[in-house]
Amino acid sequence: MLVFWKQKLVFLSVPKTGTTAIEEALAPSADMVISNPPELKHAPVYRYNRFFRPMFERACKTDDLELMAVMREPVSWLASWYRYRRRDFMRGHTNSTENVSFEEFVQEYMKGDKKAAFANVGSQAKFLEPRPNGVKVDHLFRYEDQPQLISFLEDRLQRNVQLERRNSSPTMPLDLPDATLQKLRKKCAAEFDLYESLS
């Protein structure tokens, strides 16, 4: 999470959406950089609303901060998690994907609360879900549309922004059978609907 006080902007770090590169590029301009623990670095809207917003409102007497975030195409997002958990340092851990195929990973992910540890990666839609009190992400960008994201940041922060690839997992061909993809689109409709609503 990054807070830009003068610009009235808070960047929420959705995992697996290039947040390491964004934080590295923008941290020098930020007034607050929350990089650890992961539960705070990757604070979703509901956690921001519960802990950070009240702090800003009570201690700083302001309630006009806007939230921004990046969302990745849902299958690509799952593929990124899958590749990340196949890395050597994950070997032997319960959430390693070393011995499962991408389809098995996705099938397990669709089991909801009963999924195995290796497929327990959360939900972008849940992370970004607006709160009943009106707190929501004001500026949501597609991970795949870097020019639009960079244009917004440069305009809002009044500085040049260059993003370098960071924390990238090895590329590999990851395809899903049509039946599995259709099942995923049905079971996780909120993810696809939100992503497809972005222009």
Span 71-80, pLDDT tens digits: 999 999 999 9
Domain that holds residue 120: 2-196
DSSP secondary structure letters along 62-91: ---PEEEEEE--HHHHHHHHHHHTTSGGGT
Task: Write down the mean pLDDT value for the chain.
Answer: 93
Helices (H) and strands (E) in the chain, counts: 10, 5
Per-residue pLDDT reduced to its tens digit, 43-60 = 999 999 999 999 998 888
According to the model, what pLDDT value does residue 173 have? 73
Containing 121, the helix (H) or strand (E) segment is none
Q: Which residues contact 125 (CB under 8 A, 6 or more apart)?
A: 188, 190, 191, 193, 194
Q: Is 11 helix (H, G, I), strand (E, B) or coil?
A: strand
User: Apex CA 17: angle with CA 96 and CA 21, to 5°?
Assistant: 105
According to the model, what pLDDT value does residue 169 have? 61
List the chain residues with pLDDT less than 70. 166-170
Containing 144, the helix (H) or strand (E) segment is none
Q: Structural domain tally of the chain? A: 1
CATH number at residue 79: 3.40.50
According to the model, what pLDDT value does residue 54 have? 94
